[in-house]
Amino acid sequence: MHNYILKNENALYYECGYSCDNALFLKIGDERYFITDGRYSEEAKESIKNSLVVEARDLFKKAREILKKKRVKKLFFDPNDFSLKEFNELKKSLVFLKPKPFFSWKKRAIKTNEEIELIKKSVDLNKKAFSKFSLFLEKEGEGKSEKYLQYRSKDFLTNFGEYELSFEPIFAINENGAKPHALPSEKILKRGNLILFDAGIKYKRYCSDRTRVGFFDEEFSFTYEQKFKNPKIKKIYDIVLKAHDEAISRAKSGMLAKEIDKIARDVIEKSGFGKYFIHSTGHGVGLDIHEMPFISPKSETIIEDNMVFTIEPGIYIPGEFGVRIEDMVVMQNGRAEVL
């Protein structure tokens, strides 16, 4: 694929180590152009080593000029990246535009060793934040609302502003946890409640993602070992943990992504809770919080070494509670290694 155009910020960053919210990246043969406006051009020139920084007020007009000058006949683009208006701007170039959905994600699916180190660091910082937040909950969480505790979780995750969030954290008590992407409510945390917490941070732009479920008693932590008083919650927690563990231990490079999904799904279905597992088993993580590979029932992606993704089975009982246990893994030497 010789000639292509990109607009997505993480795709731009992957190509040249810099991005901003108003830029186009154009690759024509071996030549690379980063087109941006005067607000960013100086910083772009300081940060980018492998591309020519071109300053322009009208990015698409400048891109058309370059395409015409270089006599480009065919240009690949990701249709997910461009609005209809932007596509029409590109079309004025009279170049044959060839859609190639998610091609930057496909390029980025197999991580470099450097990327894996950055992701490991992100995961490690996120894990430490979970520990600090669990201590805060144990000492000060009782009697506070979901909204307040979700808000406070960000202090620990960002280390008081040092890191960015991968996404808006999910903090859910009891029945709110039955919604996989629950919004925080005014519900008050009491001893004996079930907490579901899903959160991640970015380290040098690379994301982490983790979910834990905990029983809020006198002592509280986000470890796998939880002492539930309610036998139904304990049973479901154990099923989800087994699905999580089996998917990780049996995942191998060379498998189709849907085969890994099936390992986790089979555990839950055989336990009689199949209809309560309402999402995919996992997703790739990197510069984007959701990227390739997708570990879903239909995904034909072949899993390869150096792919990074989540394993996050869940069971959600509407009106009662939800359990999801999520970890990130990297495929190395043919096996899934928990990050």
Give me the average pLDDT of each 10-residue run along the chain (339 residues).
92 97 97 97 96 97 96 96 95 94 96 98 98 97 98 98 98 97 96 97 98 95 94 97 98 98 98 98 98 98 98 98 98 98
Q: Which two tokens stand for residue 89?
A: 């701007």
Residue-wise pLDDT tens digits, 206-228? 999 999 999 999 899 999 999 99
Q: Which two tokens stand for residue 247?
A: 């998917």
74-77 and 4-6 strand pairing: parallel
The alpha carbon of 21 is separated from its chain's Cα centroid by a whole number of angstroms, namely 20
Q: How many other CB atoms are found less than 10 A from the CB of residue 314?
A: 28
Supply the mean pLDDT for the chain: 97
Residue-wise pLDDT tens digits, 240-268? 999 999 999 999 999 999 999 999 999 99
Q: At 103, is the secondary structure helix, strand, or coil?
A: helix
Locus of tokens 């096996």: 335
Q: How far is it, in rounded angstroms, from Cα 111 to Cα 117?
A: 10
Q: Which two tokens stand for residue 308?
A: 């990074």
Locus of tokens 């390869």: 304
Q: How far is it, in rounded angstroms, from Cα 324 to Cα 306?
A: 25
Q: Which domains does the chain have, with CATH numbers?
A: 4-108 (3.40.350.10), 113-338 (3.90.230.10)
Give the closest residue to 165 by CA, choosing from 173, 155, 179: 155
Q: At 188, is the secondary structure helix, strand, or coil?
A: strand
